[in-house]
Structure 1
C-alpha cells in the first residue's frame, strides 16, 4: 500500500497502525474524522518515525500521543 498520498483511507491505515504501535487503549483518539487531511504529512512523519524506531519507551509513546493531540481538529 502506498501511503505517500493523502487520503482518508491512508489516514485510517496510519492511525490504526499508530494505535497498535503505541498500544492506545482509547481508540477514539484515532478517529480519522477528527483529523484534517492538511495535517496528513505531519501524521505520516510521526508514523514513519515510529516505524523506523520500532520499540518505544513509555515516555516516547506519550510524546507521540501528545503530538497526535496537537494535530487533531
Structure 2
C-alpha cells in the first residue's frame, strides 16, 4: 500500500490511475494522470478515498465522479 499522506506528483498520478481503473472509464485515455497537480492533492485524495471505498458504482455516480475529476484537472 502506498503512503498517500505525502502530497507528491507521483501520488497524484497513482490515485488518478486507480480511480480510472476502478471506474472502468471509457474515456480513460483522455484523462491523463499528468494533467493533475499537487496543488489539488487533498481534493484528489478525497475523491480517491470515495472511489476506493465502494465496490460498484451506478451510472450516475460514475458520471458525477468523472465530472469532479474533470474539474480537478489543470
Report the TM-score when normalising by structure 2.
Answer: 0.86
When normalised by structure 1's length, the TM-score is 0.87
Task: Structure 2: give runs of 5+ residues left out of the alignment.
Answer: none
* Structure 1 alignment gaps of length 5 or more: none
Aligned length: 73
RMSD of aligned alpha carbons:
1.3
For residues 31-52 of structure 1, give each alpha carbon's deviation from its aligned partner in whole angstroms, at most 9, with x where no partner exists.
Answer: 2321121101101101101111
- The match for 1:37 is 38
Runs of at least 4 residues off by over 3 Å:
none
State the partner residue of 1:23.
Answer: 24
1:17-73 C-alpha deviation (Å, 9 max, x unpaired): 100111112223432321121101101101101111221111101100000111111
